[in-house]
Structures are given as structure tokens and as C-alpha cells.
Amino acid sequence: MKERGKRRVGILGATGTVGQRLIHMLRDHPHFEVGALAASDRSEGKRFVEACPWKLPWEMPAEVREMRLQPCAPPVDCDLVIASLPSDTARVAEAAFAAAGYPVISNSSAFRMAPDVPLLVPEINPDHLQLIPVQQRNRGYQKGYLVTNPNCTTIGLVLALAPLDRAFGLEAVMMTSLQAISGAGYPGVASMDIIDNVLPYISGEEEKVEEEPQKILGSLAGGTIQPAPFLVSAQCNRVPVQDGHLESVRVKLRQPAPLEEVKSVLRGFRGLPQELNLPTAPTHPILVREEVDRPQPRLDREAEKGMATVVGRIARDTIFDYKLTLISHNTIRGAAGAALLNAELLLAQGLLD
Amino acid sequence: MKERGKRRVGILGATGTVGQRLIHMLRDHPHFEVGALAASDRSEGKRFVEACPWKLPWEMPAEVREMRLQPCAPPVDCDLVIASLPSDTARVAEAAFAAAGYPVISNSSAFRMAPDVPLLVPEINPDHLQLIPVQQRNRGYQKGYLVTNPNCTTIGLVLALAPLDRAFGLEAVMMTSLQAISGAGYPGVASMDIIDNVLPYISGEEEKVEEEPQKILGSLAGGTIQPAPFLVSAQCNRVPVQDGHLESVRVKLRQPAPLEEVKSVLRGFRGLPQELNLPTAPTHPILVREEVDRPQPRLDREAEKGMATVVGRIARDTIFDYKLTLISHNTIRGAAGAALLNAELLLAQGLLD
Amino acid sequence: MKERGKRRVGILGATGTVGQRLIHMLRDHPHFEVGALAASDRSEGKRFVEACPWKLPWEMPAEVREMRLQPCAPPVDCDLVIASLPSDTARVAEAAFAAAGYPVISNSSAFRMAPDVPLLVPEINPDHLQLIPVQQRNRGYQKGYLVTNPNCTTIGLVLALAPLDRAFGLEAVMMTSLQAISGAGYPGVASMDIIDNVLPYISGEEEKVEEEPQKILGSLAGGTIQPAPFLVSAQCNRVPVQDGHLESVRVKLRQPAPLEEVKSVLRGFRGLPQELNLPTAPTHPILVREEVDRPQPRLDREAEKGMATVVGRIARDTIFDYKLTLISHNTIRGAAGAALLNAELLLAQGLLD
Amino acid sequence: MKERGKRRVGILGATGTVGQRLIHMLRDHPHFEVGALAASDRSEGKRFVEACPWKLPWEMPAEVREMRLQPCAPPVDCDLVIASLPSDTARVAEAAFAAAGYPVISNSSAFRMAPDVPLLVPEINPDHLQLIPVQQRNRGYQKGYLVTNPNCTTIGLVLALAPLDRAFGLEAVMMTSLQAISGAGYPGVASMDIIDNVLPYISGEEEKVEEEPQKILGSLAGGTIQPAPFLVSAQCNRVPVQDGHLESVRVKLRQPAPLEEVKSVLRGFRGLPQELNLPTAPTHPILVREEVDRPQPRLDREAEKGMATVVGRIARDTIFDYKLTLISHNTIRGAAGAALLNAELLLAQGLLD
């Protein structure tokens, strides 16, 4: 990266749960700073402090309080855009920014499954960034491009699947989630629906988890990603927990895998972000716990500043090969932190120059 | 059944969560009444009102308030015993009562998997009561015997599995539970462990759910139960819900089964308790809901007075054949109501004479 | 009351939390039945089952499922109107119905403090119904009129205050509430705001609780209510509880009152609804509990079918005379049940003929 | 303070909720380090990692994992003792340590109200440390002594009361609390008692809050504390919140106090810990928030690392002068942090030499 001061991030969806988390993570970031805030039309022109229902247990950073909200359309005075928008507005806004020359790092589902858009997890598939020139050619973008991060439930899962797939080959994955309320944004889940209750339905979630992992773990050849050849089944539930998606997972492998080797492969997992020592990269992308009652959302969601997948209860399954439980912080590793790590990788690769 | 007044039930474990529920269900029961209350040594001799931390949102029935707690050992002045004891004390106490001539209806796990003890779900395997003479011969019981009901997570599941097994044959079942805190009794789960949290571990639970269904759906021949030939995998979680175990389930069937037929087979399920019109029997043992976000613990746990399994979200699975979500009330159908329905069946079959 | 079949109730705000509760309470009511359902413009013309996010743990009654929602404006085919509307729409709609000749029983705050509108608690101030002719004269209503019930936090409080005021005279009341989420309707309180949290603010609530009790306990003379001469201070908090407002209360009395007399005066409280044996009237409007840790929302909110105030922890205060804790079910006694009991009293008094 | 390396703290009650928090706060402390861990007889001799149900969302510090638990009796190899014990064991153990020559900083209630024991809040009454020689003379202690910190509900309150008392004089205080579950320790409150519920009773709590503030704000003369002449009334409730006691407070003042002056007096409050820049001292002991819905436990309990009282909703009361809402972190400012700040003050005053 050239030395040229901090890159200015334009945050689309700045008033939302993920936007807030991102603003918080950008305080004192070595390479990035908040450059502009944008939100839905309704908030346009308002001061951020007026428009944003700030829900984090730290003060809103002073530098954003008085910033005026801009519309989610170019031009916006910034070097790159990080977007956390509802899927329908994302489809229009993100394409417009990319067409206008901005690198767009998207947290929405709009373009995740597009064949020419990287669905990036820096520890797993940094090579998928080679799709960017293909995408620019396909879409007639000059300088801008789109890079996406996975759904908040997918990412915790796929981090644990990646080393298993590489070491033993994955054949099938059954995942049942117990997801936190912050995943639905604010106001999101009504309290009458979740106090002393569980919701067995999250719109669109199961479909996403059932197709994203294969693209992420897919192999790139000839400008195309060949999805990894395994099946995923997802059942998604919402539980009365503020943050942290817990997932009960069974995996069927292609090769025999002794228990200790499974654990050691998970524990030893590292990727390019660790090698490059990216600021937001967890030292250990996967933490393996041996206590019989871990991981738990309240105790494990903040591990590695919310950027690790914490795995526990790894044991032989009666039907598939292994069962395990994992936790991932849905608004950090599952959203704001994922996008930020993507931005850091793009910067390190010279893709923000 | 002979006309001879109400049978007097001796309740072992009367001060516990299940004992309280049973006492509540016995108010105004047409055939049974509370005859005696027994609890652990520590409570022995105390008045029930003093010893019992009553946690139901109805008043403690006047007729039990002043009853003195007896030890969990024969003799106790009653016609049958319903026991809800920790497994270790159950092993001794239940055998002692059966040996002393009492019909023992047990809610504990101590004898569930014993080859000569019926693991009874009246809608599914009333024929397993033919094990009683075998058991009496084996164990030298004269008049007493042991009948058990399943684990609170098993029973909701197995009610939904039974019609599928009969109609299409089961090959494999993956179940992930989101279980209520009342399942752990009182004081049970510490609030610091479950507020804003999930516990991914319930001691002994997964093992029970993985072996009980096959016995319940097994076939009796030559005085022995041949377990049904399917596999079960269980992952059990505790969530901050007062009552009602929710289960995310996938099933693999032996024969093709169109979606509408699956639903219709579930909806149409009836058994002997419905035929005999037993007082505690639900009219519909299984309720099928079509709303995308049902069943939910708070809204569905009380269906059919807590005696039904409510099934929803039935859909094709990407790996197995179908996925579905179900709810069952853990202290009613999963415990007190199960035992009481067993008692009603025993009475109807002349086994309490 | 003349024998002329059940009176048909037009429910304004039928899709809301209180509307649903009222529909549930009208199943099998001896004197009333649902005649028409009305809701905001957005729902107009829809079938109730489509428009209503039903949140009660019982099935939506079959007779309302297919009813079409009407606008909240006369004419509606019914004998009386029970309204649970936001205050601003209530102001217009309720006046329109009263002007059009309908008896209007209102659960909203729009007209509660109007000098010519009864703020009715049948156990306390049935004589305030004498305001109706005054009101009709003032407002030019021919046959219609407005009767209101108190705020859901006021009513639990004022039921406990009434016997104390009569027996000993009230001088001052300090009330701090811990209110249930259902009081905010649906979707109401966002789950992110209340899981592992408390909200110390409920819009407009403290003001209502600080002025309504004095009107309710006021005396009617010359067509005017003279407010009772005591002060109320309120601090209102929202807690993660589904139903049931808990209130921590201190009272300063005008005359000395021994503890046992305070309890006996509360226990002995009865009113006209008990005398008339109105269908929804609780046998005991106030229940006094002696256990050190009662009342509790989960265990006490359903007492007397949710129509009683349950009082406990009555003790000498260090500053005022007594402190006590009370619970009242906010959507039953605090809303739907209050309105229904008002309707029953109006019927019994011949005011619905 | 002399330069002589870090003082070694002996932690009595190390496995409890407060002990854990203290161990966490002592990582990297500039002046103190964990010297020894002690707990009840049952744990004696065990490794800390085995005996302690660690419930904080950070890893147990490596340096304590393998430490062996000692009995709560002298001698223990350390320079001072910080004790968080149940009141009955505290009475014996703390006196024994003081008699054996250890400075004892106690978080329990055993000696709080003893006339010769400072009930210390460093911002408020550092002069009360002059009781130490009196105490040593009274009790025949040579070198050891007892210093206590207030109850976790008292301290949040008294921090807000101190500047008001100094500026305007306090006459009476009404406090109703909504307290977190961690205040009851682990396992503490049973989840069945608090999910979808509130407990209106905390054993001994109201009594403590009604007498401790007057001692803390009392004046020392002739070796005796004259309690401040105001009355406190307390009603204490437990709510389903992990950490952070919220308090609804009314105050009656002796002198007129304009609203802005009340706020400014609160905002401007500082004490000796701020002057001495003690490591655990909050920069602002009191934070005043203007938002209508603050403070809230989830958003405000961690303010100033959990060492501040956050005050909001300050407004004229209808009966007393002002009402306000405050939050204080019960295991930090209310316990471990209070004790640690006391230790820091003792060190700065040369009382640990």
C-alpha cells in the first residue's frame, strides 16, 4: 500500500445496527476513517446524532455526531464504500456506486451469488478477488467493483468448514442455528415475539446458508467459480440473545478423520489475513474449546474481538461423522468486521489504489 | 375398570417441577386423586406447603397443603405410584415399590431402556404393556411392575416420528433441540447462565434421545422388543424459555413421500387413547400448522392442554427428505401428563385392578 | 336488563394487543358478542385473519377469522363500541361514534380527563356514571356517550388505593412501576431495547398515573367531579416481562392505621360489580399475599382471571406510612377486562337499552 | 507510597462473582497483584481452574489458573486482604485477618455498620479513615484493620446523593431498585424465578440501603461518626438483567435547588480519587445524561469502566423536590471496583506500608 493517509470510507446504511458497529470499529483504525455517512431517504440531510438510534454500549464517536446524512447514491466524497443496506435498495445503490468508480464492499445479499462477484472470506478464498477484472469487463465498470461478504450465519459456519474441507473433504453439512436478535437490525424483532419464546423462522436465511458456503469454498478456474461439491441443510431459529449466533452442526466427510486430527486441523487454521497481519484479523480464526458446556453466546461471542469462530462439543455423530457447536459474533465477524477485514485485504492487495 | 372410587396416587418427587404439575393435573381428575406425597429425606415429615417451592401460576390445591411428606420408600398408602425422581434415587425407590406390589409409573430414566420395562407412549406402543408379565417373572414381582415414559425431548419427537415411520419407514433422524429451563427442575439452571445466553449442553440428554425412539417404535415379539431400525442424532441446547421444548428435525424416509401425504399422515394420527377417550388424551396428538413462523413455545406449548406435539415448517430438505419444527410441552406431555396418560391407559386395560 | 339477546360489540382497534384480548374474552360471554371489527385505514377491507398478528396462546376464535375489517368511523352495525385506539385517532373516532348515537367504552387516554366523561372503575366510582347526562347535554349527544377506563398502570394502583383512601384518607402516593412489554402493543418495544435491559421511560405514562387516581377517587357533586385531595408521584420503567405491571408503592395516610387493619381493609374490599355479580368481576378485587417474595408477574398476573390486584410486602415505611408491592394484569384488568367490566356495568344499569 | 514492587492481594471468596471480577481487574494493575486465593472449605486445596465456575466473557488469567485455594483464615502469604464473603463467614474470617495484622478491605456487610469501621467511598468520606486508629485501639489490633465498602445498591445511590447533600442538604430519599441477577452471585437466582418475571424481594437489601447512606455521609468528630440526618426508604426488586442496578429515586432537599443547579452539581462532582488520579478512579464519578430514555443497564453500566454512576431523567417531582433514575454496575462499582479503589486510596495514604 502506498503511504497516502487514511482512506475515507463512505458508509451506506450508517444508522443501522451494522453501520453503528462499523463506525465503532473505525475509531483509531490505522488505515481507514469515516469519510461520509449515508442512509435511507428519510434520514437524508439530518445530523447523524439525530437520525441514528445508537444502540452500542459506548458513546457515539464525536467525529460522526454532527455529520450530515447523505443519500445512498453517488457521488459521495470517499475512497471506498462499505454498504449495509436492505437487499432491494442494495441492488440499485451498490451497482450505482461501482459503476461510478467506487470500490464497493457489500454486506447485503444482493450480489453475493452473482457469478462475477467475489463472496470473500479473506482467510479462505482471497484468490476469488481475481474475479474483479472479469466483473469489470462484464459490467463495464471502469474502476469500481463489487466485493461481498457472506450472510452472518454462513460466515461462522464456513470458517469452521474450510479447514475440514481442505483436510478431509466435505460431503454434507446439517446446520441448525440459534440466532441473536441484533441480526434482524433495529427495531427488528418485536419483544413480544421473543421474550420467553423462540422464533423458528428468519426470512431468506436458510436459503442463503444452503448455497453460500459452496461458492466460498469453490475453486476459481477460467474466470468462473466452481462451487464446492457438498450439500448444506439449514434450519434457522431466533432466540432471546442480544449478540452471537450459535450453530449446532453435523458434518459428513469424504475421508476418515480421527477426532484429534479434526480438532488440530481446526485449531491450526490460518489464512492470508494472519500472514499479512491485517489489523482486524483474529490471531486464531478458530478457537477450539474443550469444556462440555462451551461455546456460549455470552461468554464466547467477544473472543478475538468478535472475529473468531469458537468451536466446541466436537464429537462423533451417530449418523454423519462429527457434530459440533459453534458461535460467531453476528454483527462483528458476521457483518461489520467481515466487511472491514475485506477492505483491509483489498488495501493490502493494492486494490484500493 | 371396576367402579370402586378414585384410585389414590402416591407421588414420589412431589415437591419438584413435575410433581407440582402432576398435583395440578390431578385436581378434579375423574379417576385419580392424590393419595400420598413423598420426597427426598430432607423434606420428610414436613407439611407440603412448607417444603415445596410452588412455581405454578395457580394456587397450590388446598387438599395437599397440609399433607405430610413421606419418604420415597414403601409402604405408602396408595393404589399406584407415579415417580419423578433423579435417576439414581429412582433406581432404588422404584424397584422397591414394584417389589412391594405397587404399579410404578416412572418419569425417570432409570429403567427406561431395561429390556423388560415398557417405555410407553399410549398412542404408539400400548402393546408393549405385554412386557409386564415378562418383567414380573424376570424380577420376581408379585403384583407390582414398572412402566416408564420417555425423556421430555424424546416424546415430542417420537409422536411426530410414529406416523411417518408407519407410513413411509424411517431411516435416519437429525434433531437439534432448543429446550426450556423448566426441564432442569428447580432451582435448576442458574439465571446467570441463561439470560442473554444459550447453553449448548444438557447432561445425558443427547444419549437418551438417540436411543429411546427406536425402543418406543420397536416391535414386540417373543417377549422382547426389537428396536426400530433407524438412527437418531441429537444436539441439545437450553434456551431462556420457561416451558416448551422446540425441536428442529430432519428425517430420511425409506419410501417416497409427497409433501401433502406427509402432512396428512401427521394430521390424521390417532391412537388408543383417542379411541378410549382417556381423560388426558389430546383429541389430536399432532397439530400441523401452516404459518411460516409457527410453532413457537409461547404460542403453541399449551395446545391441547399441553398434550399435543405441534408441527410446522414442514418442507423438503436438501440432504434428507424433510425438515420440520416441532414443539412439545416438557412438563406436561414431556413428564406429568405423559405419566398420567400412562396411568389412565393402565386403568383402562385393567392393570390397576 | 331487558332480555333481547346478546349485545353486539363493535371493536375499534381490533387487530391490536387489547383488541385481541377482548375478542378472546368475548368468547362465550353471557351478554355480549363480537358484532363488528374495525381497525386503521391500512387494514380496512381485509379479513381479520389476514390483518391481525394474533399473539395470544389460544387459537383465534373461528367466528372472527373471516370478518372484514371496517374503518373506525360510524356507522358500524353494533349496539355499542369498545375502543382501543392510539390517543390521536381515538380523539376523532370516539367522538364521532358518540355523536352518532353509540355508547362508546374507551380504553384510550383521549377523553379520560375530560370533566364530563366518567373515568370508570366499577368497584370504585359507579356513581360517576351520573356524568353521562351532563356529557350528553354539553356535547349535544342524543343517545351516545363516552365512558373511559384508566391507564393500565393507574388501575392496578387505584384499586389498592381506594379502600385505603376510604378507611384512612390518602395524603400522598409514590409509585415506581416495572411494566410489561405487552403494554406497548405490537410490535411495540424492540427486543434489542429490552433483552438484558430495562427502559426507564414510557411516553406519557407518568403524567397519566399522576392525575388519574384523583379523578377516579374524586367525589361527584353538582355534575362535577372534585378530585380527591392527594398527590401522586410516578416513575415508570419497562422490564422484560410479557404481561403484568408490578408497582412498588408507598402511601402516606391522613389517619393512623395499624398494619393488620390496612391488610384487612384491602382484603375486604368489594364493590358494585361483586354485588351485581357481573360476569367479568373478580370475586376478590384485591388479593393480599403474605409470602415475602410475592406478588410476582409470572405467578400472580392471572389471579382472578387477571381481574384482581394482587398486593404483597405490606410493611411500615421509613418515610411514609406504608410500603407495598402490587401486580395487575395490564391487558386484562388494565385494558380489555376493564372495558368489558365497564360494559357489563352499563348494561346492568340500563345504560345500553 | 514507597517503591517496593506490587502489593500482593489475598482474595477471600475468590471463586465467587465478585472474586472473579476482582481477579480480572487486577490483570496489569500498576500497584497490586493477586498474591493468594482463598475460598470456602469445600474448595480448599483445589486448583482455581477446577474450583471456580468462571462466568466472565474473558479468559481466566493464566497466572491464577493453577493457584491452589487456601482456607479463609490467616496466615496467608499476602500484603493485604480483599474479602467478598457471605456475611456470616465474613464476621469470623475478616476479624481473624485484622487481628493477625492484615489490612482487610471488605465487601461484605458484617462490619459495615460497626461504629469504629470506616464505610468508605473514596470520593465522599476519605476522612473516615481516621477511624482506623480508634478501631485498632478498641479491638486490640496491632497493625491490621478493617475497611468496608457499601452494599452494591447503596453505592450507586450515595454517589448521586453526596453532591446534593453538600449543596442543598438532604431531607429524605425514596429509592426503588431494579437489580441485576449477578448481585445474587452464582448460582444465585434460579432462572425459573426470573425469566419473564420480576422478584420483589432481596433478602436484607432494603435494610442496608436504608441505613448505610447516612453513615457514609455522616461527619466524623471525636472518633465517632454522626450519621447524616436524612431518611431513606428502599424497595428492592430483582429483574432479568445480567449486570447493572437501576434505581428510581426521589429526593427531598433542605434548600431550594433550581434544576440546572442540580444537574451542574452532579456533573461537577469530584473527590480525592480524582485528585490523586487513582488507577481505578473514574474521571467523572457521575455522568448526567439528557436523553429521555437513559440511563439503561445495557447501554450505561460500563460507563467509565463500570466505576461511574450514570444519572438521567432528572425532573421536578410532584411530592418531593426531584426525581431521577440512576445506574451503577453492581459487581464493579458495587463490589470489586469499590474494594479496589479503597485499596488504592489506602496505599496512597500510606496505610499499606
Domain boundaries defined on chain B:
7-151+336-348, 152-329
Give, in order, the Cα–Cα distances in Å from A167 to each of A219, A269, D250: 15, 11, 65
How close B243 gets to chain D, by Cα (Å)? 10
| φ, ψ (nearest 5 deg) of residue D158 | -70, -30
CA distance D17 to A281: 32
Å from B298 to nearest chain C CA?
A: 7
Write the pLDDT tens digit of every residue in C47-99. 999 999 999 999 999 999 999 999 999 999 999 999 999 999 999 999 999 99
Check CB contact under 8 Å for D198 and C292: no
Query: Residue D12 forms beta bridges with which residues?
Result: D38, D83
**Residue with grid cell 364530563, as numbered in its chain:** C116
Q: Kindly tell me if the per-residue pLDDT of B3 is higher than 60.
A: no
Which residues, given as ranges, of chain A have pLDDT below 70? 1-3
Transcribe C189-228 into DSSP letters. SBGGGTTT--B---TTHHHHHHHHHHHHT-EEETTEEE--
**Nearest-10 crossing angle of helices D205-216, D152-168:** 40
B240-284: per-residue pLDDT in tens? 999 999 999 999 999 999 999 999 999 999 999 999 999 999 999
Q: Running DSSP on this structure, what letter comes out for residue A295? A: -
Whole-number pLDDT of residue B2: 45
Taking an 8 Å cut-off on Cβ atoms, the answer to whether A200 and B294 are in contact is yes
Burial of C136: CB neighbours in 10 Å, binned 0-12, 13-18, 19+: middle
| Nearby residues of A187 by Cβ (< 8 Å), 6 or more positions away | C187, C190, C192, C193
Which ranges in chain C belong to alpha helices (H)?
17-26, 48-51, 62-65, 87-99, 131-139, 152-168, 205-216, 259-267, 272-276, 297-300, 337-348
pLDDT at D224 over 80: yes
- pLDDT for C40 equals 85
Residue D176 sits at φ, ψ, to 5 deg, of: -120, 125
* Mean pLDDT of all residues in C156-167: 98
Q: Which residues of B touch A (CB under 8 A)?
A: 172, 174, 176, 178, 193, 196-201, 210, 231-233, 235, 237, 239-242, 246, 248, 250, 292-299, 312-313, 317-320, 323, 325
C323 and D233: CB-CB below 8 Å? yes
CA distances from C257 to A176, C264, C265, C292 (A): 61, 11, 10, 21
Asked whether residue B6 carries a pLDDT value surpassing 90, the answer given is yes
- A160-207 confidence digits (pLDDT tens): 999 999 999 999 999 999 999 999 999 999 999 999 999 999 999 999
Residues in A closer than 8 angstroms to C240, CB to CB, are 191, 195
Chain B nearest-CA distance from A48, in A, is: 29
Distances (CA, A) of A345 to A8, A31, A94: 16, 11, 20
- Distance separating alpha carbons of residues B243 and B326, to the nearest angstrom: 14
Contacts of B187 in chain D (CB under 8 A): 187, 190, 192-193
Name chain D contacts of A243, Cβ cutoff 8 Å. none
Q: Which amino acid is it at A125?
A: N
Looking at every residue in chain B, the average pLDDT score rounds to 97
User: Is the CB of B176 less than 8 angstroms away from the CB of A248?
Assistant: yes
CA–chain centroid gap for B211, Å, is: 15
- D234-265 per-position pLDDT tens digit: 999 999 999 999 999 999 999 999 999 999 99
Domain with residues A152-329, CATH architecture: 2-Layer Sandwich (3.30)
**3-class SS of residue B339:** helix
Q: Reduced to 3 DSSP states, what percent helix, strand and coil does chain A have, rounded to the nearest 5?
A: 35, 25, 40
Task: Give the pairing type, strands D309-316 and D322-328.
Answer: antiparallel
Contacts of D17 in chain B (CB under 8 A): 192
**Exposure of D157 in the CB half-sphere (CA atoms within 13 A):** 36
Complex ipTM value: 0.96
Residues across chain A: 353
Helix, strand, coil % in chain D, rounded to nearest 5: 35, 25, 40
Closest chain D C-alpha to A241 CA, distance in angstroms: 12
pLDDT of residue C81: 98
| Mutation to test the B interface, candidates A198, A202, A313, A328, most B Cβ within 10 Å | A198
The count of residues in chain D is 353
Give residue D1's pLDDT. Answer: 42
Task: Answer whether D158's CB lies under 8 Å from D213's CB.
Answer: yes
What residues pair up with B247 in beta bridges, in sequence order?
B177, B326
What is the tens place of the pLDDT at every residue in A248-288?
Answer: 999 999 999 999 999 999 999 999 999 999 999 999 999 99
Which of D17, D195, D196, D301 to mutate: most B Cβ within 10 Å? D195
The percent of residues in chain D predicted with pLDDT above 90, rounded, is: 97
Query: What percent of chain C is modeled with pLDDT above 70?
Result: 99
Residue of B nearest to D17 (CA): B192
CA dist C155 and A292 (Å) reads 49
User: DSSP characters for C311-331?
Assistant: EEEEEE-SSSSEEEEEEE-TT
What whole-number distance in Å separates Cα of residue C117 and Cα of residue D322? 32
Q: Is the pLDDT of residue D10 over 70?
A: yes
**CATH number for the domain whose boundaries are B7-151+336-348:** 3.40.50.720
CA-nearest of A305, A183, A175 to A242 is: A183
Cβ within 8 Å, pair C196-D242: yes
C123 pLDDT above the threshold of 80: yes
Q: How far apart are CA C67 and CA C35, in angstroms?
A: 9
Helix (H, G, I), strand (E, B) or coil at D297: helix
Pick the residue with more confidence: B2 or C37?
C37
What's the average model confidence in pLDDT over D173-191? 97
What positions of D carry a catalytic annotation?
Answer: 152, 245
What pLDDT shows up at residue D3?
57
Contact C41, C71 (CB under 8 A): yes
Count of pairs with CB atoms under 8 A, one residue in A, one in B:
123
pLDDT tens per residue, range B130-146: 999 999 999 999 999 99
In angstroms, what separates the C-alpha of A196 from chain D's closest C-alpha? Answer: 6
Question: Is cis: bond before D187, omega within 30 of 0?
Answer: yes
Residue A40 CB coordination number (10 Å): 17
Residues of D in CB contact (< 8 Å) with C are 172, 174, 176, 178, 193, 196-201, 210, 231-233, 235, 237, 239-242, 246, 248, 250, 292-299, 312-313, 317-320, 323, 325
pLDDT value, residue D111: 98
Sign of CA dihedral D124, D129, D134, D135: positive
Helices (H), chain A: 17-26, 48-51, 62-65, 87-99, 131-139, 152-168, 205-216, 259-267, 272-276, 297-300, 337-348
DSSP for B52-78, please give it. Answer: ----SSSPPPHHHHTPBEEPSSS--SS
Q: Which CATH class is domain C152-330?
A: alpha beta
Among the partner residues B56, B196, B299, nearest to C57 by beta-carbon distance = B299
pLDDT at position B165: 98
D11-61 pLDDT tens trace: 999 999 999 999 999 999 999 999 999 998 788 899 999 999 999 999 999
Selecting among A152, A236, A284, A329, the annotated active-site residue is: A152
Smallest Cβ–Cβ distance between D299 and the set A57, A299, A301 belongs to A57
Distance of residue B251 Cα from the nearest chain C Cα, in angstroms: 28
Residue D2 is predicted with a pLDDT of 45
Which residues in chain D are closer than 8 Å to A332, comparing Cβ atoms?
A: none
> Alpha-carbon distance D74 to D92, whole Å?
11
pLDDT value at B4 more than 80: no
Residue C4: its pLDDT value, please? 72
Mean pLDDT, rounded, for B300-313: 98
Helical axes B259-267 vs B152-168, angle rounded to 10°? 120
What's the confidence (pLDDT) of residue A8? 98
Q: Write the pLDDT tens digit of every residue in C280-311.
A: 999 999 999 999 999 999 999 999 999 999 99
> Could you list the active site residues of C?
152, 245
- pLDDT score recorded for residue D40: 85
Nearest residue of chain C to residue A180 (CA atoms): C192
Nearest to B296 among A176, A178, A200 (CB): A200
Whose cell is 485485504? That residue is A345
D263: helix, strand or coil: helix
In one-letter notation, the amino acid at residue C236 is C
